[in-house]
Structure 1
């Protein structure tokens, strides 16, 4: 990996250089929180933000996306071609970069490549930024606290300068054309190690570090814990709406007012929805909230691991913040901790 250093004052020039060719999506202040949004001025970007309410996933996998248009009277189908804007996701935390890597694994599958996702991803650059964990962050437990591949540039604040990890030729060219770039010194590397150490020490120690999570998910698959958790669930799908790795979708046909024309759309869906597992004839494979919550957690912590050798959950903590009844992977980890304590007695 190639590392360079730029001064903090060079940051507006870097953003401006991206704006010459790309739409820049970055974290901005929204009410009491922060959100990813298109920006026209570098001054609007907030890089020392806590976790945004929602992830930047929607720029790669839109909540509603037209697949094709149809004319029922003319019995015609027209491929829908939307303009995919070249853009930069600027200021993305490591957990969200790892989340995008997980989405890549799904939608770039060589057997079933998704052309819509691929078009968005191919047109998108990613500039990551280091962060300090919040109370609900547990990316360190999901091996997602560092971004290794998956970005073009990654910025770490080391005082009045940034250590920049370069991940692509495109990113390197833009960086060198916009900023006064210099090689990292021993002082820069010492500052970087200090920031990294402070970050590791800032994680919430009350969130238990559980080993062999996939095995425990299997071992306690029938435990009454899931009934208790499901009894709380409101089936509101807030967890899925803010999750950076939920990728389930439904397909719907939307008619224009005249009823003769319309479009087929892909829309976000969630396994916590009561109708998600319903099939023709009205049978529902997961009719209870307990079954749906367990399925969601199983996929996040075990199912994806079995196929891709890593957890689908990246520990961003958004679901823990969004859920009004305290359902999240953190509660599952605490359950496993309790079980371990019982076995030790």
Structure 2
């Protein structure tokens, strides 16, 4: 990994250099929230944002995308090539970069790579930026508060300057052409350590740091707690809509008005939807909220870990804000904490 330092005043030049060859997507202010959108100028960007409503996931795995068109009467599938836009995601937090790394495990690095996802991933540069946690952030519990890979540049604010971690040649060349990067001094390294310590100390200490969460998910799989938690679920699917790592999808064929031609589309789906586990014949393998909510939490905190050696949850806290029924991983951690206290008695 190569490290350099640039002045904060050089960021507009860096963004302008990216805009010469890429669409730049960055956090912008919308009402009282922040969202990732394509920007026209550096001055549209809000790098000091806390958390965006949703993650940059949609630029790699769109909510709805065409897989191919077809002619139903002729029983023919037409050739199709998705339009891939060269893009820079500018200002992603470490949790979102780690979320993207988890999606890579499923769609890029698995046994059957998804060509649509792979093409978008290859055409996208990721520029991360340091952040300070909010009260709902718990990324540090899952080791997702630092991004060690999965980005092209990562900018750590060290007071009027940025320590830049460089991990791709393409991004390094653009940085070199747009800015005047210099070697980090001992003073820069000291300030970096101070900034890291300030971030670590800012996490909400009321969120329980529970060890062996995956094992506890197994141990309490049949606990009545899931009935109570699942009973709150409104099946609105807001949790998966804002989650940066949810990747379930449905495949739908949509006919044109002529009834002859149409398109096959992939759309986001959610395991908390009542119809998600319903199969032909009408049987539903998870017909009640208890099973749906437990399944979602189990996949996030145990199932994915068993297959990929890391939690699927990255602790971004978006579901904590989105769920009006207060169903989220923090609630599960607090449940485990209570069970530990009861067992101790």
Report what 1:112 is aligned to: 112
More displaced stretch, 164-173 vs 231-240: 164-173
Question: SS at the partner of 2:116?
Answer: helix
Report what 1:307 is aligned to: 307
Given that 1:135 and 1:203 are in contact with CA atoms closer than 8 Å, whether structure 2 keeps it comes out as: yes
Question: SS at the partner of 2:78?
Answer: strand
Report what 2:200 is aligned to: 200
Within 1, Cα distance between the matches of 2:324 and 2:72? 44
Pairwise CA distance, 1:168: 1.0
Matched, 1:290 2:290: yes
- CA deviation digits over 1:213-254, x for unaligned, max 9? 000000000001000001100000000000000000000011
Within 1, Cα distance between the matches of 2:270 and 2:79? 27
Within 2, Cα distance between the matches of 1:9 and 1:92? 19
Within 2, Cα distance between the matches of 1:180 and 1:108? 35
Matched, 1:162 2:162: yes
Report what 2:270 is aligned to: 270
Report what 2:31 is aligned to: 31
Report what 1:338 is aligned to: 338
Report what 1:242 is aligned to: 242
Within 2, Cα distance between the matches of 1:318 and 1:138? 11
Within 1, Cα distance between the matches of 2:164 and 2:111? 36
Q: Give aligned pairs, total.
A: 345
Question: SS at the partner of 1:34?
Answer: strand
Within 2, Cα distance between the matches of 1:316 and 1:80? 36
Distance 1:271 1:110, change over 3 A: closer
Report what 2:321 is aligned to: 321
Within 2, Cα distance between the matches of 1:14 and 1:287? 51
Within 1, Cα distance between the matches of 2:253 and 2:60? 21
Report what 1:68 is aligned to: 68
Distance 1:110 1:316, change over 3 A: closer
Within 2, Cα distance between the matches of 1:55 and 1:31? 17
Within 1, Cα distance between the matches of 2:275 and 2:83? 33
Report what 1:88 is aligned to: 88
Given that 1:95 and 1:145 are in contact with CA atoms closer than 8 Å, whether structure 2 keeps it comes out as: yes
Question: SS at the partner of 1:183?
Answer: coil
Pairwise CA distance, 1:111: 1.7
Within 2, Cα distance between the matches of 1:301 and 1:216? 10
Given that 1:67 and 1:79 are in contact with CA atoms closer than 8 Å, whether structure 2 keeps it comes out as: no
Runs of 4+ in structure 1 off by over 4 angstroms are none
- CA deviation digits over 1:256-312, x for unaligned, max 9? 122211100000000000010111111111111110000000000000000011000
Alignment of 1:45-64 (within 5 A): 45-64=45-64
Given that 2:82 and 2:116 are in contact with CA atoms closer than 8 Å, whether structure 1 keeps it comes out as: no
Q: List alignment gaps of at least 5 residues for structure 2.
A: none
> TM-score, structure 1 length as denominator?
0.99
Given that 2:132 and 2:199 are in contact with CA atoms closer than 8 Å, whether structure 1 keeps it comes out as: yes
Q: List alignment gaps of at least 5 residues for structure 1.
A: none
Question: SS at the partner of 2:67?
Answer: strand
Pairwise CA distance, 1:167: 1.2
Pairwise CA distance, 1:110: 4.1
Report what 2:215 is aligned to: 215
- CA deviation digits over 1:111-162, x for unaligned, max 9? 2111011011010100000000011000000110000010000001111111
